[in-house]
Chains A and B, each alone.
Chain A
Amino acid sequence: QKEVEQNSGPLSVPEGAIASLNCTYSDRGSQSFFWYRQYSGKSPELIMFIYSNGDKEDGRFTAQLNKASQYVSLLIRDSQPSDSATYLCAVTAYSSASKIIFGSGTRLSIRP
């Protein structure tokens, strides 16, 4: 079992709709959870992090965390073509808060 699992996609969403990206993790001791966006050929950039159960909103992005179910998700409202990218879920390792384990990413495509 991978430590951080994501559906590889591609996930195709019409422009203006809500895109929902999901991630599960295996380490119950993980404390912090991240969503990185990576455009093709570019480096990852952090768009959201969350460490408490519940929802965290930032503009069009909402991160949701459920530690009991070991599940974290990212919602993108009013999806734009510029949101087309690969989204990487990442979690901190229990053994070291500065060691981050990445999922393999979900490729999101927003169709006009």
Chain B
Amino acid sequence: DADVTQTPRNRITKTGKRIMLECSQTKGHDRMYWYRQDPGLGLRLIYYSFDVKDINKGEISDGYSVSRQAQAKFSLSLESAIPNQTALYFCATSDSADLANSYEQYFGPGTRLTVT
């Protein structure tokens, strides 16, 4: 089984709808991240969480919110989806104790979201 899972893998929704993307991990890592990827723009950080009570905005948090329900679960919500939120979304995890590997990030398989 995959260490980092994302649901759904693909989603098409309409403008104005609320949508939640979910991420779960079995790696036991304390740190979790949400990124979006657009062609030519690489990965951009939306939100990150260092533990259940510590949530931080990334570079493009407007229009998004997150919830860290447990150490293993980190959800991303779009309260009112708009077409320019169409992108590939990745969840990632890292281990704060992983000094030897400089906090390597492990990515989920991604969620392809289309907002029409």
B-side interface size class: 20 to 34
> Quick one: closest A residue to B98, CB to CB?
A98
A19→B48 CA distance, assembly (Å): 33
A14 interfacial by beta-carbon distance below 8 Å: no
A44→B104 CA distance, assembly (Å): 11
Q: Which residues of B contact A8 (CB under 8 A)?
A: 40
Q: Which residues of B contact A102 (CB under 8 A)?
A: 35, 42-44
Question: Do A43 and B102 contact each other (CB < 8 Å), given the known contacts A99-B45, A104-B42, A105-B42?
Answer: no
Q: Which residues of A contact B101 (CB under 8 A)?
A: 49
For the complex formed, measure the closest distance between the CB of B25 and the CB atoms of chain A, giving whole angstroms: 13
Give which listed residue, A4, A49, A88, A99, contacts B102 with CB less than 8 A.
A49
A17 interfacial by beta-carbon distance below 8 Å: no
Taking a contact as CB atoms under 8 Å apart, the answer to whether A98 and B110 are in contact is no
Taking a contact as CB atoms under 8 Å apart, the answer to whether B40 and A98 are in contact is no
Taking a contact as CB atoms under 8 Å apart, the answer to whether B42 and A46 are in contact is no
A-side interface size class: 20 to 34
Tally of A-B Cβ pairs under 8 angstroms: 53
Taking a contact as CB atoms under 8 Å apart, the answer to whether A46 and B110 are in contact is no
Q: Which residues of B contact A4 (CB under 8 A)?
A: 42
Q: Which residues of B contact A45 (CB under 8 A)?
A: 107
For the complex formed, measure the closest distance between the CB of A98 and the CB atoms of chain B, giving whole angstroms: 5
Q: Which residues of A contact B90 (CB under 8 A)?
A: 43-44
A32→B103 CA distance, assembly (Å): 9
B68 interfacial by beta-carbon distance below 8 Å: no
Give which listed residue, A34, A42, A88, contacts B42 with CB less than 8 A.
A88
Q: Which residues of A contact B58 (CB under 8 A)?
A: 99
What are 22 A-B contacts defined by CB distance under 8 Å? A4-B42, A42-B110, A43-B107, A43-B108, A44-B43, A44-B90, A46-B105, A49-B101, A49-B104, A51-B102, A88-B42, A88-B43, A97-B103, A98-B48, A98-B50, A98-B94, A98-B96, A99-B45, A100-B105, A102-B42, A103-B42, A104-B42
A residues within 8 Å of B by Cβ? 4, 8, 31-32, 34, 42-46, 49, 51, 88, 90, 92, 97-105
